[in-house]
Amino acid sequence: MKKSVLSLAVLMTLATANAMAATTDLTVTGTITPAACTPTLSNGGLVEYGSLSLTELEETSIGYKLPAKSLNLSIECSAPATFALITNDNRRDSSPANAWLFGLGNHLDQAIGYFGMTMDHENTIVDGAPGTHLASEDAGNTWTNIMDGILQDAGRTPDYRAAFSSTGSSVGPAPASSVNVIMDIRGSINKGLTLNGAMELDGSATIEVVYL
């Protein structure tokens, strides 16, 4: 990932006729981007399950499936920009070892379960045209075209990036002003939990736009 950084170092010294005074450095840093891109999730980014009983959920060999949910993710830029997405799990202490899954919080010091986020290729629009998904595992140096976009926890895979293309090229993402995609959220509750009263789901993740 390339960053435009404006740096200015100013060194000021004062001298007297008899001696050189003490000095100090002042440094100005910052990042200048070609455009401002704003990501937005529908429903304020809230996935609400309400009140559920474990007996209502589909049981698997390892847990209980939560009903699938969807949110719309839109990214609007003030001018065409080349960007990617990174995601941080805010409940990493409750997530499993699988790098692309996110934790649902803890209950009585037990990890409740996990959820994953994928972006549907059939409902991805880039600048008004059908779009495809790209993934990079080396911080954007090389890209691979994939069917559905996957968001992974940057705490476990810090070099992973998700991006979009309107051409389907695996060379890399091109500048875009607008991206709209349906994001599917699928989760599971772990088996063997000790339940004492109601158990509150507490999943949380932060999606960040990074400029390339």
67-119 per-position pLDDT tens digit:
999 999 999 999 999 999 999 999 999 998 877 899 999 999 999 999 999 99
Q: In the numeric block, which tokens belong to residue 99? A: 């790098």
The reported pLDDT for the residue numbered 166 is 83
Q: In the numeric block, which tokens belong to residue 105? A: 């919080």
Q: Rounded to whole angstroms, what are the CA distances from 208 to 2, 119, 129, 161?
A: 16, 15, 23, 10
Task: Evaluate whether 187 touches 115 at the Cβ level (below 8 Å).
Answer: yes
The reported pLDDT for the residue numbered 34 is 66
Task: Evaluate whether 4 touches 82 at the Cβ level (below 8 Å).
Answer: no
Residues of the chain with pLDDT under 70: 1-21, 27, 29-34, 168-170
The reported pLDDT for the residue numbered 22 is 77
Q: What is the DSSP string of 144-189?
A: EEESSEE--BTTT-TT-EEEEESS--SS----EEEEEEEEEEEEEE
The reported pLDDT for the residue numbered 3 is 44
Question: Diameter of the chain by CA atoms?
Answer: 87
Task: Give the whole-angstrom CA distance, residue 209 versus residue 33.
Answer: 12
Enter the pTM of the model: 0.82
The reported pLDDT for the residue numbered 26 is 79
The reported pLDDT for the residue numbered 100 is 84
- Under CATH, what is the fold of the domain 35-211? Immunoglobulin-like (2.60.40)
Domain ranges of the chain: 35-211
The reported pLDDT for the residue numbered 44 is 92
Stated length of the chain: 212
Task: Evaluate whether 133 touches 145 at the Cβ level (below 8 Å).
Answer: yes
The reported pLDDT for the residue numbered 6 is 45
